Structure 1
Amino acid sequence: MSQRRYQSVIQYLSEGIAAGNWPVDAQVPSENELVELCSVSRMTARRALEELTEAGVLYRVQGKGTFVSPPKMQASFVEVRNIADEVRALGQHYGNVVKTLLAEVPPPKVAALFGLAEKATAFHSIILHLENKLPVQLEDRWVNPNAVPEYLRQDFTRETPNVYLSRIAPLTAAEHVIEAHLPDLKQKRLLQLSEVEACLVVHRTTWSGNTPISYATLYHPGTRYRLAGRIGAGSTAPLPIEEIHV
């Protein structure tokens, strides 16, 4: 399967969704229809649909087909917090080290989320956040270049990406996926983990209006970090996911 053909199907669907050809909850073309529309094999069409589904752009209904996902999956249930504020609120000193800040071709699911053409680049930053010089979070973030064109020009030692993005493209929706993770050698070294220590990982997607702004993967030392949330009976306020150092 050629990468060009596979990406062409993703681009066809992403551009159609962005143009309003298929609004939220509308059914997109089936595998067989994509074979005809895009002149690709059924395997190529299936892979494109699977990637867009994994990225949250589409969702499947058994026996019915594939449909366009709402862009605000969890807007009323989560609140994104700035790690620098969390550290300072505990009376500790915050600092960070910018490891990467450049334009790169993103993974397919990120390209699909942002609706990027084949081989188009997105903005990529990797930042190590510190509490009293001890690593508490490794932030690996992709940013939509069409929504935030000046991202690479920022000094993130002075203002975190969270603060900058909230100011430039105010958050209206966010989705969090939380999981345990066995770190690779690079993550283990940067976070100063022991041989047996796992990571707590948050995959965070954010939107401003209907525009996807960023996709970030946040790695935390399992023994020095926990996440907590609170549900209040009868409350309509957003439910925060609190990042707490332990």
Structure 2
Amino acid sequence: MSVPKFAQIKEFILENIQSGEWQENDRVPSENELTSQFQVSRMTARRALSELTDAGILTRSQGQGTFVASFKSQSSLLEIKNIADEVKARNSNYSCTILVMESISAIAPIAIALGVEVDSHVYRSVIVHNENEQPLQVEERFVNPALAKDYLQQDFHSLTPHEYLSQNAPLTEARHTVEAIMPNQEMCEWLNLYNEEPCLQVIRRTWSSQGIVSFARLVSPGSKYRLGGHLTFKK
């Protein structure tokens, strides 16, 4: 079975990053350049770049191009909050629905995001966080087993993944990417969206003092969730 062209482009980009040929913040070929090199449509090239950007491997700058994202930790302007605490603070009832708890072989984007070898085993969970029994957020998380070996044995009805990881691999730093997306059919089903609407997606990588702990994708309906923060500047 032949490999789709967009997947070939993704593999080409990932191989250059993994080999060290392209370093952090290096510019990668544009849509036009990839279109010419692989003899594909711009839509195919755009899909490859978009999927790697969604995974946090690339970053795109309007008018400047597409670049290899920084894989080093950085301080976040957004406070990492426990969603169960957020819901309870609004005097609402928190619950969750656990959809997936599994060990998988890490494909290249996940391996790069977690700083592990391709095809090594990592943990994956998919959990729907509910407010008053209504879906509020889908959390898909990939975890480094070396730093959270008992992750799959936890009862995440009684504590959230964030709480467990904060206790067992205290988080020191994080990196966020925030954007608006249109959900696919599966995401609409998980969020009980009968009419497709824009969603807020947060891609988050977290570190402890021992290394990268997890890589998560958090998706919430735009009509139900928002991000906010408070900054204090020194005089």
Same fold (TM over 0.5): yes
Amino acid at match of 2:179: E
Q: 1:11 to 1:147 in 2, by over 3 A?
A: farther
Equivalent position of 2:209 in the other structure: 209
Amino acid at match of 2:75: Q
Higher relative contact order (Cα pairs below 8 Å, separated by 6+ residues): 1
Q: 1:70 to 1:216 in 2, by over 3 A?
A: closer
In the alignment, structure 1 segments of 5+ residues that lack a partner are 14-27, 32-42, 44-50, 58-65, 236-246
Distance 2:234 2:215 in 1: 31
Distance 2:68 2:201 in 1: 28
Indicate whether 1:72 and 2:76 are aligned.
no
**Count, aligned residues:** 194
Indicate whether 1:99 and 2:99 are aligned.
yes
Give CA deviations for 1:43-63 in whole Å, capped at 9, x if unaligned: 9xxxxxxx7xx7569xxxxxx
Kindly name which structure, 1 or 2, has the bigger radius of gyration based on alpha carbons. Answer: 1
Does the 8 Å contact 1:126/1:141 carry over to 2? yes
TM-score by length of 2: 0.71
Does the 8 Å contact 2:106/2:118 carry over to 1? no
Distance 1:218 1:121 in 2: 22
Distance 2:135 2:205 in 1: 23
| 1:196 to partner: Cα distance | 3.3
Instruction: Report the secondary structure of 1:157's partner residue.
Output: coil
In the alignment, structure 2 segments of 5+ residues that lack a partner are 24-36, 38-51, 59-66
Distance 2:156 2:73 in 1: 27
Amino acid at match of 2:190: L
Distance 2:228 2:205 in 1: 19
Equivalent position of 1:114 in the other structure: 114
Distance 1:177 1:30 in 2: 21
Q: 1:228 to 1:123 in 2, by over 3 A?
A: same
Distance 2:177 2:80 in 1: 13
Amino acid at match of 1:166: S
CA RMSD of aligned residues (A): 3.4
Give CA deviations for 1:89-109 in whole Å, capped at 9, x if unaligned: 110000001100010123312
Distance 1:189 1:195 in 2: 11
